Structure 1
Amino acid sequence: MRALADFTIEPGQGADGGVLHFSGPMVVSSLGLVDRRLRKLSDPVAQIDVRDVERMDTVGAWTVWRLSQQLGAEIVNCRDEAERLIKAISETDTNNESIRAPRLPLIKRVPDEVGTLVIALAVGFLQVVGFLGQAISAAGMILRHPRRFRGLALVHQMELVGVNALGIVGLMSFLVGVVIAQQGAVQLQQFGAEIYTINLVGRLTLRELGILMTAIMVAGRSGSAFAAQLGTMKLTEEVDAMRTIGVSPTEALVLPRIIATMIMLPLLGIYSSVLGIIGGAFLGAVSLGIPFLTFLARIQEVVPIHDVWVGLVKGPVFGLIVALAGCYQGMQVKTNAEEVGTRTTSAVVLAIFTVIVLDAFFAVFFTKIGWG
C-alpha cells in the first residue's frame, strides 16, 4: 500500500500555539487528502515540524511554505533538500505582486503591430506561392508519368464541384438575372429606354456577374469543403500515412481538386450566365412586355462575342484561386479540430477576396486592350 502524508498538532511550550508535525512523503501523489484537511485547519500553530518527512517535492515545499505564511508559523527541523526547495519557493513567491507584460507606448505599438501584420502577409504569400510550385511540380511529374494520374479522383471531384452545384448556381443566377432586369428597367424607364434592359442584362451577366457570382458560390461551397476534408485528413494522420507508403499527397489529393475546379468553373460560369439571361427574359416578358424569344434574339445582336471570351478567360483563373486557397489552408492544419474550422473560414475569405481583386484587374485590363 502506498504511503501517504499525514500531520498531527502537538501542544506547544509557549502561548503562541502548538506544533504542526508532518510525517510521511510530502509529494504530489500523497498530499490530496492532507491538503483538504489543512485548508480547514483553525488551531493556532507556532511551528511547523518536518523532521519526519521522508521525501518532499516542489508541491510539498509549496504546501509547507503556504501554511507558514497563512499561520505565521516557523518551519523547523528541515533536511537540506527540503530546506533548499522551501527557500526556492519563498524567493519566487509572487502572491502580493501584480505581474504584467511590458506594454509599449502607443506611438511604438501601432507600427509594431502593422509591421507584424505585413510580415505575416508576406510570409503567407510566399507559402502560397511555394504551395503552387508544389502543385506545378506534381503536374510536371504526372506529364512525365501519365499512369500516375488519378482519373477516377478527377471525375469524382468534377462531379462534386460542378454537377452537384448546378441546382444552387442555377437558382442563384436566375434570381440575379431577374433582379438586374427589374432594377435596370426601373431606371431606364425614366428615359423611355427600357428596351436597353436587354443590353444591360446580357453584357453584365456574360461579362461579369455570371462568372464572378459562380466563383464566389464555388468558393463557399467547394473551397470550404477542400479545406475541411484535407484538414481532417491531416489531423487523422492520413496525409502522413500516404507519405510513408510513398504516395505524394499533392498528386493524390491536391492536383485532382485543382484541375477539376479549373475545368468546371468556366462551364458553371457559362451555365450561370445563360440562367441569368433567362431570368432577365422572364422579367422582361412579365413586366416590360418584351416577348421572351425576342429578348433572347436581341441578346445575340447587342452582346459582342468578346464578352463571352472575357467570362471564359476568367473561369480557369478563378477556379485555380478557389481550389488553391482551399487546399492550401487544409494542408496547413496541424493541431486540433478548432483549427479545421479556422482554416476553412480563412480559405473562403481568401478565395473570395482574391477573386474580387482579380476581377477588378481583369476589368481594367480588358478595357485597355479594347474589349471594354
Structure 2
Amino acid sequence: MHSADIDNEPKIDVSHADNQVHIALQGDWTSSLGKRADDYAARLVEIQENQPVIFDLSGLGRLDTVGSWLIIRSARTLESRGIKVQIQGQSATHDILLTEISSHTVEEKQEEKQSGLVTFLSEIGKSVIQTRQDAYDGIVFFGQVVSALIRVLFRPKSFRFTSLVTQMEQVALRGVPIIVLISFLVGCIIAQQGIFQLKTFGATVFVVDLISILTLRELAVLLTAIMIAGRSGSAYTAELGSMKMSEEVDALRVMGLDPIEVLIVPRILALIIGLPLLTFIASMSGLLGGAITAALYGDIPSDVFLTRLQSAIAMNTFFAGIIKAPFMALVIGVIACSEGLAVKGSAESLGRNVTSAVVKSIFMVILMDGIFAMFYAAINF
C-alpha cells in the first residue's frame, strides 16, 4: 500500500469535553471502504453516554455517497436513541452532498405485526381479487379468439390447415393409448365394485345399467377432459410460454401476423374436434372393460350384456356426454393458451403458469360438468 493511501485511510477520533462527545472524521470516506463500511458505521454509533454528539468533518478528505450515507445513517441511529447530534466543519461541497443524501434517504418501513386471523383473511381477499382478474383476462382473451375465428371464416385461405392437422395428431391421435387404457381400467373397477354391491340384492345384471349410464353420461367425457387438460393443456402453455420467452410471439407481430390467429386458433380447434372423438373412444373402452369384468365376476355373458345395454340406454344417454366435450375443450384451450401468453420471461414464471393452467382447467372442467348435470336435470334430458 502506498504512503498516500495510508494517509487517506478513514479515521475516527473520539474525545469528550464539556459534557459532549466529539467525533472527528478524517481521511477519505468513499466507496473504497468496501466491506469495512459496516465496521466504521458501528464505531460511529457505539456511544454509551447519553450526551450530545458532534460529528466534526473538518478533517475529511474525499467524500462520496457511500461515506455520506454512513454519516447520515449513524446520526439518525443516535437520534433514535434520544441523543442530540450535530454535524459541523464540513466544506461547502460536502454539505451539498450530505444535504442531498439526507433529503432522499428513505427510512426502512417497519412491518406492522398482524394476527394470524387478519393475515388469513387478507390472503383470502387477495385470492378473490386475483380470481376476479383472472376471470376478466379470460373473457378478454376469449373475445380475441372469437374475433380471430370470425376473421378466419371470412378469409379461409389465411387459415393454416397444416397447423390444425399437426395439433390434431398431437391432441387426438397420440392421446388415444392413454385414454383407452385409463377408461378401460376405470370401467373394470366400476363394474367390479358394482357387482360386489348388487350381488347382495340379487341384482347383478343391473351392473350393466350402472356402467353404461355412468360411463356414457359422465365418466368418459370427464376423464378424457381431465387427461387432455393435464397432457395437451400443459403442453400448450409450455409451448406458448417458451415462444413468449424467446420473443417469437413478438416476432410474429413485427411480421404483421396475428399470434392469436396463427398460434391459438389451430390449437383450440384441434381440441374442439379431438376431444369429442376421444370421448367416444373412451366410452367404448369403458364399456368394453365393464363387459369383460361383468363376464368374469358376475357371470354375465356378452350377449346378455349387450341385450341389457340396449334396454338401459338411449340416444340421449350417449349425446349427454358427447355434447359436453366441445365446451370443455374450448375452456381447456382458452385457459391453457392464455396462461402460455401470460408468461413473463423466466423459467419460474413458465413453471408457475403451466401448473396454474392445469389446475384451472381441471377445476373448470368439473365445474362445467356440474352445470351440465343441473341443466340436463332441469330439461329432463
What residue in structure 2 maps to residue 130 of structure 1? 140
2:55, 2:88 within 8 Å by CA — same for their partners in 1?
yes
What residue in structure 2 maps to residue 251 of structure 1? 261
Match of 1:285 among 295, 302, 307: 295
Q: 2:172, 2:13 → 1: CA distance?
A: 86
What residue in structure 2 maps to residue 233 of structure 1? 243
Q: Evaluate the alpha carbon distance shift between residue 212 and residue 237 of structure 1 in structure 2; reply closer, same or farther with a 3 A threshold.
A: same
Match of 2:351 among 331, 341, 345: 341
What residue in structure 2 maps to residue 83 of structure 1? 95
Q: In the alignment, residue 35 of structure 1 is paired with which amino acid?
A: A
Q: CA deviation at 1:302?
A: 2.0
Taking only aligned residues, the RMSD between alpha carbons, in angstroms, comes to: 3.6
Q: Evaluate the alpha carbon distance shift between residue 235 and residue 191 of structure 1 in structure 2; reply closer, same or farther with a 3 A threshold.
A: same
Structure 2 residue 26 is matched with structure 1 residue 21? yes
What residue in structure 2 maps to residue 53 of structure 1? 61
Q: In the alignment, residue 92 of structure 2 is paired with which amino acid?
A: D
Q: In the alignment, residue 21 of structure 1 is paired with which amino acid?
A: Q
What residue in structure 2 maps to residue 192 of structure 1? 202
Structure 2 residue 327 is matched with structure 1 residue 310? no
1:9, 1:18 within 8 Å by CA — same for their partners in 2?
no
What residue in structure 2 maps to residue 220 of structure 1? 230
SS of structure 2 residue aligned to 1:246: coil
Q: CA deviation at 1:336?
A: 2.3
Q: 1:120, 1:18 → 2: CA distance?
A: 54
2:30, 2:62 within 8 Å by CA — same for their partners in 1?
no
Q: 1:297, 1:34 → 2: CA distance?
A: 90
SS of structure 1 residue aligned to 2:218: helix
1:52-201 matches, within 5 Å, as 52-57=60-65, 59-65=66-72, 77-86=89-98, 99-101=110-112, 110=121, 117-201=127-211
- CA offsets, 1:160-199, max 9 Å, x none? 1111111111111011001110111111111100011111
Q: In the alignment, residue 169 of structure 2 is paired with which amino acid?
A: E
Q: Structure 2: where are the runs of 5+ without partners?
A: 48-53
Q: CA deviation at 1:232?
A: 1.9
Q: 1:237, 1:8 → 2: CA distance?
A: 50
SS of structure 1 residue aligned to 2:305: helix
Q: CA deviation at 1:297?
A: 4.5
- May I ask how many residue pairs the two structures share in their alignment? 360
Q: 1:250, 1:139 → 2: CA distance?
A: 9
2:245, 2:343 within 8 Å by CA — same for their partners in 1?
yes
Q: In the alignment, residue 201 of structure 1 is paired with which amino acid?
A: I
Q: CA deviation at 1:331?
A: 1.3
TM-score by length of 1: 0.83
Q: CA deviation at 1:263?
A: 0.3
Q: In the alignment, residue 53 of structure 1 is paired with which amino acid?
A: G
SS of structure 2 residue aligned to 1:21: strand
Q: Evaluate the alpha carbon distance shift between residue 180 and residue 132 of structure 1 in structure 2; reply closer, same or farther with a 3 A threshold.
A: same
Q: CA deviation at 1:115?
A: 5.7
SS of structure 1 residue aligned to 2:174: helix
Q: 2:333, 2:5 → 1: CA distance?
A: 61
Which stretch shows the higher mean deviation, 122-131 or 207-216? 122-131
TM-score by length of 2: 0.82
Structure 2 residue 222 is matched with structure 1 residue 242? no
Q: In the alignment, residue 77 of structure 1 is paired with which amino acid?
A: G
Q: Evaluate the alpha carbon distance shift between residue 307 and residue 41 of structure 1 in structure 2; reply closer, same or farther with a 3 A threshold.
A: same
Q: Evaluate the alpha carbon distance shift between residue 79 and residue 212 of structure 1 in structure 2; reply closer, same or farther with a 3 A threshold.
A: same
Q: Evaluate the alpha carbon distance shift between residue 35 and residue 367 of structure 1 in structure 2; reply closer, same or farther with a 3 A threshold.
A: closer
Q: CA deviation at 1:231?
A: 1.6
Q: CA deviation at 1:10?
A: 8.9
SS of structure 2 residue aligned to 1:31: helix
Q: CA deviation at 1:114?
A: 5.7
Q: 2:224, 2:248 → 1: CA distance?
A: 32
2:229, 2:358 within 8 Å by CA — same for their partners in 1?
yes
2:41, 2:74 within 8 Å by CA — same for their partners in 1?
no
| Aligned-residue identity in percent | 37
2:294, 2:300 within 8 Å by CA — same for their partners in 1?
yes
Q: 1:304, 1:34 → 2: CA distance?
A: 84
Q: Evaluate the alpha carbon distance shift between residue 94 and residue 247 of structure 1 in structure 2; reply closer, same or farther with a 3 A threshold.
A: closer
Q: In the alignment, residue 27 of structure 2 is paired with which amino acid?
A: F
2:26, 2:61 within 8 Å by CA — same for their partners in 1?
no
Q: In the alignment, residue 61 of structure 1 is paired with which amino acid?
A: S
Q: Evaluate the alpha carbon distance shift between residue 300 and residue 27 of structure 1 in structure 2; reply closer, same or farther with a 3 A threshold.
A: farther
Q: 1:132, 1:14 → 2: CA distance?
A: 75
Q: 1:291, 1:271 → 2: CA distance?
A: 23
Which stretch shows the higher mean deviation, 235-244 or 116-125? 116-125
1:47, 1:74 within 8 Å by CA — same for their partners in 2?
yes
- CA offsets, 1:9-56, max 9 Å, x none? 598998989954213xx443x3326638848989x9997545453442
Q: CA deviation at 1:316?
A: 0.7
Which stretch shows the higher mean deviation, 275-284 or 358-367? 358-367
2:275, 2:325 within 8 Å by CA — same for their partners in 1?
yes
Q: CA deviation at 1:349?
A: 1.6
What residue in structure 2 maps to residue 32 of structure 1? 34
Q: 1:179, 1:201 → 2: CA distance?
A: 10
